[in-house]
């Protein structure tokens, strides 16, 4: 189809088919590699049966590699929604807990930065509002990379931290909350209708040091979508025009995610629930005192190494969530 003379004249073709072709090629390459692995395993097995005991270690290693490869593919199989391969737009908001919650929001931001590094993803901060004393009140950032949205959507919800407060001179135990919202980084080809009359656009001076332009011009842009009360702020660019364009892009993505949520709810799928950032609404609890444990309340997954999780090792939680939610999605599709 792509070799047809008039193929590149259709913008929809240009947008859709190269990505689809790349995905198919990637799957075929994976299958070809596994066929080679199985052929090598068969040869090693024959060698072992012929008395070459040294082949046993190679067989064990090959089986371990195959198990890891199939585990990765099993997770990718859950990333079959049309938006899963996109980059992700992530918003972290501190919740109940004041300075504690703001510090917790910054800890989560660091966790996702570390996780992104291990995946080869790039983080681009769109807007960051520092806390009054420590941490951050909220941050919006882009996670750029293939399947970033498909993986990061497992993190949507309220995250709870229990620890001895470093800000409490009495060394009492505190509970803090922060919410994580994830939407796909859709491009200009996605048709999301926005009525200009539904928007309130405010400009203001971007905070932060370093840069005469930032300090002297109203370059930062805040857009409020009045019907949904969704607020998007962008202040990372020196140009007000570029900040507005980025803010509009994020607004479209969040409206698109809202539409997806409504569709998931309509079809009774496992979907993100928007709840108050406080008691009883968390998807995951990170306990540092009196014991050390991270527990995902949706899947029951528990990890005792809290430091490793906060250092970005969250793949087990993501993979378990995706595998657990997969059957529910298949069931809904079949019922349709």
Asked if 137 contacts 247 with a C-beta cutoff of 8 angstroms, the reply is no
Instruction: Return the pLDDT at 101.
Output: 92
**Terminal C-alpha separation, the chain:** 30
Can you name the residues that pair with 294 across neighbouring β-strands?
286, 303
Distance between CA 276 and CA 17 in Å, rounded? 41
pTM of the shown model: 0.71
Mean local confidence (pLDDT), 284-303: 94
Q: If residue 220 lies in a helix (H) or strand (E), which one and from where to where?
A: strand 220-225
Give Cα separations from 111 to 26, 94, 166, 318 (angstroms).
29, 15, 19, 13
- The model's pLDDT over 178-235, given as tens digits with 9 standing for 90+, comes to 999 999 998 765 667 788 888 898 888 776 544 443 444 678 899 999 988 899 989 8
Mean local confidence (pLDDT), 240-268: 79
Weakest mean pLDDT among 35-49, 96-110, 192-206, 207-221: 207-221
Give Cα separations from 141 to 88, 138, 184, 280 (angstroms).
8, 10, 12, 27
Q: In sequence order, which residues have a C-beta less than 8 Å from that of residue 97 and are 6 or more positions away?
A: 104, 174, 175, 176, 177
Q: Positive or negative CA dihedral for 74, 119, 27, 147?
A: positive
Instruction: Return the pLDDT at 264.
Output: 63
Check pLDDT > 80 for residue 324.
yes
- The model's pLDDT over 125-155, given as tens digits with 9 standing for 90+, comes to 999 999 988 999 999 999 999 899 999 999 9
């Amino acid at each position: 189809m792509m070799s047809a003379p008039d193929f590149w004249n259709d913008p929809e073709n240009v947008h859709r088919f190269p990505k689809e072709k790349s995905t198919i090629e990637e799957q075929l390459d994976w299958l070809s590699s596994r066929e080679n692995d199985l052929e090598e395993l068969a040869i090693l097995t024959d060698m072992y049966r012929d008395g070459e005991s040294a082949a046993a270690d190679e067989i064990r290693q090959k089986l371990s590699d195959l198990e890891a490869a199939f585990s990765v593919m099993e997770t990718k199989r859950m990333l079959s929604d049309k938006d899963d391969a996109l980059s992700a737009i992530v918003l972290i908001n501190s919740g109940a807990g004041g300075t504690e919650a703001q510090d917790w929001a910054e800890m989560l931001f660091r966790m996702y930065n570390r996780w992104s590094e291990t995946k080869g993803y790039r983080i681009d901060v769109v807007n960051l509002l520092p806390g009054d004393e420590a941490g951050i009140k909220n941050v919006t950032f882009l996670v750029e990379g293939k399947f970033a949205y498909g993986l990061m959507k497992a993190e949507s919800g309220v995250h709870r931290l229990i620890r001895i407060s470093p800000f409490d001179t009495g060394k009492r135990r505190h509970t803090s909350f922060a919410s994580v919202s994830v939407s796909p980084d859709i491009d200009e080809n996605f048709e999301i209708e926005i009525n200009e009359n539904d928007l309130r656009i405010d400009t203001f001076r971007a905070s932060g040091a370093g840069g005469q332009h930032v300090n002297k011009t109203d370059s930062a842009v805040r857009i409020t979508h009045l019907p949904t009360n969704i607020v998007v702020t962008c202040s990372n660019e020196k140009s007000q025009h570029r900040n507005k364009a980025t803010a509009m892009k994020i607004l479209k993505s969040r409206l698109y995610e809202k539409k997806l949520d409504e569709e998931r709810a309509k079809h009774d799928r496992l979907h993100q629930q928007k709840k108050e950032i406080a008691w009883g609404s968390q998807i995951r609890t990170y306990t540092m005192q009196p014991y050390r444990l991270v527990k995902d309340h949706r899947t029951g997954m528990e990890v005792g190494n809290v430091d490793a999780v906060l250092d970005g090792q969250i793949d087990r939680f993501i993979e378990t969530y995706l595998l657990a939610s997969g059957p529910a999605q298949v069931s809904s599709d079949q019922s349709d």
